[in-house]
């Protein structure tokens, strides 16, 4: 969990320092969102889109679009309360990173 939080902070910091932008790369936001969803998953505190957007340094509408795409890919699932968790497929992807 700590390594995911560190990676999320590092990626956002690098984006600000190197690119002078919070949003970077075609898929950088997706990676940041997966990291944020993973943190919520590990801490058993799933987050809603607005909180995930804050973690990832994205606007809420962009985060929602990207989360919808990640959901269509089967990596995350939106719950009844509007919070996002990893799917089994998403968990397998994260295990490779660990």
Provide the pLDDT confidence category of residue 98 given band limits of 50, 70 and 90. very low
Give the model's pLDDT for residue 74.
87
Residues 6 or more apart in contact with residue 52 via CB below 8 angstroms: 33, 36, 37, 40, 63, 67, 84
Q: What is the mean pLDDT of residues 52-65?
A: 93
- Cα(73)–Cα(93) distance, integer angstroms: 12
Contacts of 62 (CB under 8 A, 6+ apart): 23, 29, 53
d(CA 91, CA 57): 23
Q: How is domain 2-97 classified at the CATH fold level? A: Arc Repressor Mutant, subunit A (1.10.10)
pLDDT in tens, 62-92: 999 999 988 998 889 999 899 999 888 777 7
Token couple for 5: 């939080």
Residue pLDDT, tens place only, 35-54 = 889 889 889 999 999 999 99
For the full predicted model, state whether its pTM sits above 0.75: no
């Amino acid at each position: 969990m700590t390594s995911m939080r560190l990676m999320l902070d590092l990626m956002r910091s690098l984006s600000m320092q190197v690119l002078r932008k919070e949003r970077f790369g075609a898929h950088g936001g997706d990676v940041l969102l997966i990291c944020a969803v993973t943190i919520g998953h590990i801490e058993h505190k799933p987050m809603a889109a607005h909180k995930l957007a804050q973690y990832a340094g994205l606007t809420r509408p962009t985060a929602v679009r990207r989360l919808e795409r990640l959901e269509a890919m089967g990596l995350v699932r939106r719950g009844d309360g509007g919070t996002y968790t990893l799917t089994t497929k998403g968990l397998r992807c994260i295990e490779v990173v660990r």
